[in-house]
C-alpha cells in the first residue's frame, strides 16, 4: 500500500511537471504569433463527465469520495493505474484537471479520443500535443511516455 501511494505521488508530480511544461509552451506560443495553435471550434473531451467550470460538489457527486479532499483540490484513485486530480478556484469550481494512467494503458484514452484526430508518435513511441480552445475557455495537453513504464498524462486548465 505504501509503495502504491509513493508511486501515485510520483505520478502526480510528473503530471504537474508536464502541466507546467504545457503552460510554458502555451506562453511561448502567445509570444510567437506564427506558431499559435489554430483555434478549434469545440473541445470534445470530458473526463468521466467532468469538465472545467463544474462545481466541486458536482464532481464529488459524479465520482464519489476522493482519496484526498480539500477546498483547493481533490485526488481520486481509480484502481492501480488511474488517478485524477481536480484543482478548484476560490469559487469552488474546477480550474484544472490532471489525469494520469500508468502501467497497463488499456483504459487510457488515445490522443484521437482527446482531440478527435490522430497524433503521430515520435520515434521513441511517445505522443505529445497541446491544443487551446479559446471559445471553451481552456487548453488540453496530452502526453504519452512509451516504454516499460508507460504513462499517459492528460491536463486541462482554464485559460486566463
Report whether pLDDT(1) > 90. Answer: no
Of 93, 92, 110, which Cα lies nearest the Cα of 101?
Answer: 110
**Which residue carries 502504491 as its cell?**
4
Taking the domains of the chain in order of start, what are their residue ranges? 2-158
> H or E element: which one contains 87?
strand 82-88
Separation between Cα atoms, residue 105 and residue 92, nearest integer Å:
31
Of 93, 72, 71, 73, which Cα lies nearest the Cα of 83?
Answer: 73
Predicted local distance difference test score (pLDDT) of residue 129: 96
Separation between Cα atoms, residue 153 and residue 129, nearest integer Å:
11
The band of 43, judged by pLDDT with boundaries at 50, 70 and 90, is low
Separation between Cα atoms, residue 39 and residue 37, nearest integer Å:
6
Under DSSP, the state recorded for 93 is B
Predicted local distance difference test score (pLDDT) of residue 149: 85
Q: Does the pTM of the predicted model rise above 0.85?
A: no
Predicted local distance difference test score (pLDDT) of residue 12: 44
Q: Are 27 and 141 in contact (CB under 8 A)?
A: no
Model confidence pLDDT, tens digit, residues 97-127? 999 999 989 889 999 999 999 999 999 999 9
Predicted local distance difference test score (pLDDT) of residue 44: 59
Model confidence pLDDT, tens digit, residues 86-97? 999 999 999 999
Predicted local distance difference test score (pLDDT) of residue 130: 96
> For 33-42, which contacts have Cβ atoms below 8 Å and span 24 or more sequence positions?
37/130, 37/131, 37/132, 39/132, 39/133, 39/134, 39/135, 40/131, 40/132, 40/133, 41/135, 42/133, 42/135, 42/136
Amino acid at each position: 500500500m505504501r509503495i502504491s501511494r509513493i508511486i501515485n505521488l510520483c505520478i502526480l508530480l510528473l503530471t504537474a511537471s508536464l502541466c507546467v511544461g504545457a503552460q510554458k509552451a502555451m506562453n511561448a506560443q502567445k509570444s510567437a504569433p506564427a506558431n499559435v495553435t489554430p483555434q478549434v471550434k469545440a473541445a470534445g473531451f470530458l473526463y468521466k463527465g467532468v469538465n472545467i467550470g463544474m462545481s466541486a460538489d458536482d464532481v464529488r457527486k459524479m465520482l464519489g469520495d476522493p482519496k484526498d479532499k480539500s477546498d483547493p483540490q481533490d485526488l481520486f484513485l481509480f484502481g492501480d493505474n488511474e488517478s485524477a486530480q481536480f484543482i478548484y478556484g476560490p469559487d469552488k469550481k474546477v480550474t484544472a484537471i490532471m489525469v494520469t494512467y500508468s502501467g497497463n494503458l488499456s483504459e487510457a484514452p488515445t490522443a484521437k479520443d482527446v482531440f478527435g484526430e490522430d497524433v503521430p508518435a515520435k520515434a521513441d513511441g511517445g505522443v505529445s500535443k497541446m491544443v487551446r480552445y479559446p471559445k471553451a475557455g481552456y487548453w488540453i495537453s496530452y502526453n504519452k511516455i512509451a516504454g516499460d513504464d508507460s504513462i499517459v498524462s492528460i491536463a486541462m486548465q482554464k485559460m486566463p
